[in-house]
Structure 1
Amino acid sequence: MFESLGLSQESLDLYRLLLQRPELALTANRPLLCAELKLPEEQVEARLKHLRDMEFLASRWNDNGDEYPVDPALTLERLATKRQSMIGDLTEQLESDRLRASEFISDYNRFLVQNSVPDVEILDDVDKANLRMQHFYPTKSMWGMVKPGPLTTPPTDNFADQHIMARGAECRYLASESQLKSRIGQEWVEFLRDVGGKLRVVPSVPFKLVIFDGESAVMPLDPDRYEAGAVVHHSKAVVRMAIEMYEHYWRQADRSFERTPEPGELSAQESEFLRFLVQGATDEQVARKLGVSMRTVRRMAAKLGEQVGASGRFELGVRAAQRGWVD
């Protein structure tokens, strides 16, 4: 059906199956996929590699290293455009394939049902969020806050944002301080520097956030449960608030990563810990917000408590306020 686009019928059948049942693209479900296709693992892996090479598979939005099938509206149009620029004598066949692709997309729409109200899109699971993110085509800027928590996936050559940078759009990234202390974090620092991304570091970020061209803001439905999906805001008021929040973090980030505190001076991470403490956050909540372990939070509390002579959390908060460490 799409042979002129370089997509065999076997690969198309696998792609259609993954679109209808995206959970089969998870690495953990590879045995289920082999059983569904009635093929040995090596043949299935070869077909998956074919789809991956053609950019029909991409890394998932929740950064866990698994893959998902990219929206056909993007993959098929991208292939068609590429082939059209290379092979002029296939124009007629390509037009026919585009019509068939439209039918394919219409058939798939029932698997991508979005609840929406004016200026807001509700994507109530991760797969819908993954697919929706593929539809954004920023030409001016993409600003992102990296999801709190350890970085588990190293950078690769097929990093999707490189296409955005290649169009001349500014790509900014805000990450928490703890994320870049790992080996993978340092790899991301070097990688983003090489490809032209702008990275700054803060003690913590509130949740994952992406702002496209200053016109749309994507954030999780539930900051504590990323698997719940995402919400896309287009209203000027909400997007403006997201931009102002991002700009605040971006300005405050200048000293957080490059400057080492003097002896006896609070680090940016310690200041953030105290801010959460006086707000009444539990150790578990502080650890999640800072992207560190419970052990690190307790060690930080013990160090600061000894520094000010406090015997407990409440007294530490009081003495920190007396010293002007917190507002």
Structure 2
Amino acid sequence: MLGRLGIGPDEEAVYRAMLKDGPGAVAGLADALGWPEARARSALDRLAALSLVRPSADGGPGRPVDPEVGLASLLASQETELLEKERQIRASRIAMAGLLADIRATGQGVSEVQKLRSMDQIQSKIEHLAGTCTSEIAAFVPGGGQSAEHLEAARPLDTSTSDRGVRLRYIFLDSCRNSSATREYVAWLGERGGLVRTVPRLPLRMLIYDRSRAIVPMDATAADRGALVFDGTGALTGLLALFEQTWQQAKPLGESTAEAPAGQDGPLSPPERAVLDLLTEGFTDEAIARQLGVSVRTVRRVTADLMHRLGARSRFEAGVLATTKGWVGV
């Protein structure tokens, strides 16, 4: 019933029980619900992260916040996130308009920016550019672990290009390391001379051919809405710089991305930093999961851990405290 507010069935059951019977102990809540204690504690942690449970004066598991206050606060937070997302969309449209204006201002013709409206057009263009490139293909591959079907569909093009001596440099998301199909495919690419690295977060899907042509989606969140093809080095300067900067920051797939466990004030791990950056930018849990190629459950777990480390009762407070600690930019 409360799923649209980010409250799962377990959290709702515990919240209702606490409102009805009072806080009690974790063991008592678990017994009342017929759950293992760990399940009840996990739900309590999530409720605390949502600011629906506050610390008890007697050191107990917490006291439930009045639903008229707590749920209204959650709704207001969602409204704020929605407004921020709309602001980001407007900013992206302005940035795209500025990019096209800059392209025209440098003397490039409109023909150097081609619009592809359908997936068939996009696939045909990819096949043509892959079949005619002579030196390198550089790519951002978001979406986390790739499906076996998608990887098999990509194999013929990667085979033909690598057979011609074309260098392949692909950047995946760190989360692809959890996909056995993706790891096997990357190992196969490596045998053919391909280079693959990973990062916690990618801004969009992108393909660059011979450092002179690029394909990017019109809408980074919906590939089926069409793509833009940039033809000419002037239009590609920013995209090439973005790829090279990301490549330098990325880690080879065979190299661990794990870091030593951080203390309360220790450094953030790459996944934590990626989640925190997106949280402060106003992304929802679902949007963050799509960006990082992980599950919503993972995003919520990392968020709860971050809020615990910060001692924050809300996402807004977490953002303020993270900025104070220098964990995110101002």
SS at the partner of 2:300? Answer: helix
Deviations along 1:269-292, one digit per CA (max 9) or x if unpaired, are 111111112222222221111111
SS at the partner of 1:280? Answer: coil
SS at the partner of 1:127? Answer: helix
SS at the partner of 2:208? Answer: strand
Q: C-alpha displacement at 1:225, in angstroms?
A: 1.4
1:268 matched residue in structure 2: 270
The CA distance in 2 between the partners of 1:297 and 1:219, in whole Å, is 27
**Which of the numbers 126, 140, 143 marks the counterpart of 2:138?**
143
2:256 matched residue in structure 1: 258
1:294 matched residue in structure 2: 296
2:126 matched residue in structure 1: 133
Matched residue type, 2:301: R
How do 1:305-324 residues align onto structure 2 when only pairs under 5 Å count?
A: 305-324=307-326
> TM-score, with normalisation over the residues of structure 1?
0.61
Query: In the alignment, does 2:111 pair up with 1:118?
Result: yes
SS at the partner of 2:275? Answer: helix
The total of aligned residue pairs comes to 212
Aligned partners of 1:148 and 1:207 also within 8 Å: no
SS at the partner of 1:188? Answer: helix
Query: In the alignment, does 2:226 pair up with 1:219?
Result: no
Indicate the structure whose relative CO is greater, using CA pairs within 8 Å and at least 6 residues apart.
2
SS at the partner of 2:198? Answer: strand
Q: C-alpha displacement at 1:168, in angstroms?
A: 1.8
Query: In the alignment, does 2:177 pair up with 1:180?
Result: yes
SS at the partner of 2:128? Answer: coil
Aligned partners of 1:180 and 1:189 also within 8 Å: no
SS at the partner of 1:171? Answer: strand
The CA distance in 2 between the partners of 1:152 and 1:158, in whole Å, is 12
The CA distance in 2 between the partners of 1:140 and 1:321, in whole Å, is 43
**Which of the numbers 159, 166, 170 marks the counterpart of 1:162?**
159
SS at the partner of 1:160? Answer: helix
Q: C-alpha displacement at 1:215, in angstroms?
A: 0.2
Deviations along 1:239-262, one digit per CA (max 9) or x if unpaired, are 111100111111111389534211
Q: C-alpha displacement at 1:320, in angstroms?
A: 1.5
Query: In the alignment, does 2:248 pair up with 1:246?
Result: no
Aligned partners of 1:308 and 1:319 also within 8 Å: yes
The CA distance in 2 between the partners of 1:176 and 1:146, in whole Å, is 7
Aligned-residue CA RMSD (Å): 2.1
- Is there any run of 5+ residues in structure 2 with no aligned partner, and where? 1-108
Deviations along 1:87-144, one digit per CA (max 9) or x if unpaired, are xxxxxxxxxxxxxxxxxxxxxxxxxxxxx93201111010011111121111111101
Identity score, percent: 33
The CA distance in 2 between the partners of 1:182 and 1:297, in whole Å, is 18
Matched residue type, 2:143: P
The runs of at least 4 aligned residues of structure 1 exceeding 6 Å deviation read none
Matched residue type, 2:135: K
Q: 1:303 to 1:326 in 2, by over 3 A?
A: same
The CA distance in 1 between the partners of 2:227 and 2:169, in whole Å, is 20
1:209 matched residue in structure 2: 206
Deviations along 1:143-191, one digit per CA (max 9) or x if unpaired, are 0111324411264494311221222221100000112212222212322
SS at the partner of 1:162? Answer: helix
The CA distance in 2 between the partners of 1:237 and 1:320, in whole Å, is 38
Aligned partners of 1:203 and 1:272 also within 8 Å: yes
- Is there any run of 5+ residues in structure 1 with no aligned partner, and where? 1-115
SS at the partner of 2:114? Answer: strand
The CA distance in 2 between the partners of 1:168 and 1:181, in whole Å, is 30
Matched residue type, 1:121: Q
